[in-house]
Structure 1
Amino acid sequence: MAVQPEGAPCWADAMFGDLDGAKRFYGEVLGWTFGETASEFGGYTQCYANGKAVAAVVPPMPGQEGQSQWCLYFASADAEATARRVREAGGEVVMEPMRVGDFGTMCLARDPGGVMFGIWQGGTHEGFEAMAEPGAYCWAEVYTREPGASDAFFPAVFPYTAKQMEEEGVDFRLFDLDDRTVLGRMAVTDDFPPAVRPYINVYFTVPDCDAAVARATELGGVLRFGPMGTPFGRFATLSDPQGADFSVIDITTTEGEMPKVTDVS
């Protein structure tokens, strides 16, 4: 794929205490195969859909053991400059920009509401080799209890314009790069369980949402929401057996009319 523009989602990975268990689960649910584990990079293991790199799984580093969580990375031409903008916008740089061999430079950060995300300045590894194909990344949404903070933060760090969805009872925002919508923002209200933490929910494409949900739950995953039909596709949100939340979506099965949006940039 072409190099992603500044601010576009470009990669996803997750730490798992049981790496073999994660490979079994996602291999069955998303059809992934796995590359060789790179011991020189902490056991980093790339995941492939139809031979294309779409994500990675890795064991936790010492002191980082805990609940697994997917991390979405945004493309940057200069990770140091992006990290500065994170701080200037009121966010936190959790891990300073770090060179990863010839692959690129990574950085981890949080927005003011506690949403963790990554920054990736590509080298030989430019990011996703496929998107919106079975097994590949498709979409992501920021879930936050501080929507105003996220709404100000992300366009200050990345060159986003924003649109607000006009749907009664739902506070949902869309962030665009030029004419392409690249990220959503959902306000976590009191209607959500207290356990829902600020995070970015990553969607992976599947050919059949219901079949993917059935397989995931057979393998110990937990259905959190759905399956539900939308104009964008039929989707469901799950937790894997190690607690990492993610969504699956069949973008070929759509239902209903597209929602109206208002430019709020």
Structure 2
Amino acid sequence: MTQEPMTPEPVRPEPGWPGWIDLASPRPDEARTFYCELFGWYSYTLNVPDYGDYTMFTLGDVQGPEVAGMQSLADDAQPPSWTCYFKVEDLQETVDTVRALGGQELIPPTNYAGIGSMALCMDPEGVDFGVATPGNAIEFGIVNKPFAMCWAELACRDVQEARRFYGGVFGWKAVDRDYYGSVYTNWKIGDWSVGGMVSMDDRWPPHYPPHWIPYFWVEDCDAAAARATELGGNVRIQPADIQPGRYAMMTDPTGARLAIITPRVIDGPGLSLGSPPGPP
């Protein structure tokens, strides 16, 4: 019998938990249409002093909770992408730790009026990620709900280096699971799974860059994948069953990577994914 999705009791987001994402897109209007149609999001635009326009996506309508943000891609030479942000208590201390462990600071800690305080970093393998503290919009509580992010996953080639780096930055514990000869890593804080990691082995194209990818909870994975195709997305991994539910991977019409999943059970702030999704 299929187990119905369950939402956990509210828990206080701890440092190291994911809870905010934003999209850098070369065609924001096209991306806005795609995500609003696919997930039923509403959007509005903030004008942030010294920064410019920033689109906020909410669940339902303008009064709904914010689930993601979007900005125009600053450099056309860069690929469109979602950036996953993780909660920290002290931005500057975290950025200093990132640098000490071999990462880089791309955008220094900055307070964005109306949004929150954020910094953009890069790990030693060249993967972008963000760190943030709660603000007016970034509350780190709107996860594990239908049509919101429910999982963040790192695909990289040097998993040992990733374990060292992210464990040092966020205090994550890496717990490996064997799945028919493949290994999938769960990032954990205490008893909670907060994200995952998959090794980019020789099944992945050699030119494919390592990356973080967000998973969004949908009520019907097959229907959502079909709708994404209708809206101009490219489904790279067709809907398939894995331990925590039914998932698919895709790119939006501008090329940004994302995944969708219809979960069976939610474990704390994230899904307990038990199998690697494999290359695109």
TM-score normalised by L of structure 2:
0.85
* Equivalent in the alignment of 1:108: 120
| Partner Cα separation in structure 2 for residue 151 and residue 47 of structure 1 | 32
The offset of 1:92, in angstroms, is: 1.3
In 1, are the aligned partners of 2:19 and 2:141 still within 8 Å (CA)?
A: no
Query: Is 1:8 the equivalent of 2:22?
Result: no
Q: Among residues 27, 33, 44, which one is paired with 1:24 in the alignment?
A: 33
Task: Figure out how many residues of one structure are paired with residues of the other and give that number.
Answer: 257
Cα offsets for 1:245-264 (capped at 9, x unmatched): 0001111499xxx859xxxx
* Equivalent in the alignment of 1:48: 58
Runs of 5+ consecutive residues of structure 2 not aligned to the other structure: 1-9, 267-272, 276-280
In 2, are the aligned partners of 1:140 and 1:203 still within 8 Å (CA)?
A: yes
Query: Is 1:238 the equivalent of 2:250?
Result: yes
TM-score normalised by L of structure 1:
0.90
* Equivalent in the alignment of 1:170: 182
The offset of 1:242, in angstroms, is: 0.4
Partner SS state of residue 21, structure 2:
strand
Q: Which runs of 4+ in 1 moved over 6 A?
A: none
| Partner Cα separation in structure 1 for residue 231 and residue 48 of structure 2 | 28
The offset of 1:216, in angstroms, is: 0.7
The offset of 1:135, in angstroms, is: 1.2
In 2, are the aligned partners of 1:54 and 1:128 still within 8 Å (CA)?
A: no
* Equivalent in the alignment of 1:208: 220
**Larger RCO: Structure 1 or Structure 2 (Cα < 8 Å, ≥ 6 residues apart)?**
2
| Partner Cα separation in structure 2 for residue 104 and residue 199 of structure 1 | 24
The offset of 1:223, in angstroms, is: 1.0
In 1, are the aligned partners of 2:101 and 2:165 still within 8 Å (CA)?
A: yes
Query: Is 1:85 the equivalent of 2:94?
Result: no
Aligned residue type for 1:33? Y
Q: How has the CA–CA distance of structure 1 residues 246 and 172 changed in structure 2, closer, same or farther, with 3 Å as cutoff?
A: same
Structure-to-structure mapping, 1:110-259, within 5 angstroms? 110-252=122-264, 259=274
Runs of 5+ consecutive residues of structure 1 not aligned to the other structure: 261-265
Aligned residue type for 1:53? E
In 2, are the aligned partners of 1:234 and 1:253 still within 8 Å (CA)?
A: no
In 2, are the aligned partners of 1:174 and 1:183 still within 8 Å (CA)?
A: yes
Query: Is 1:58 the equivalent of 2:67?
Result: no
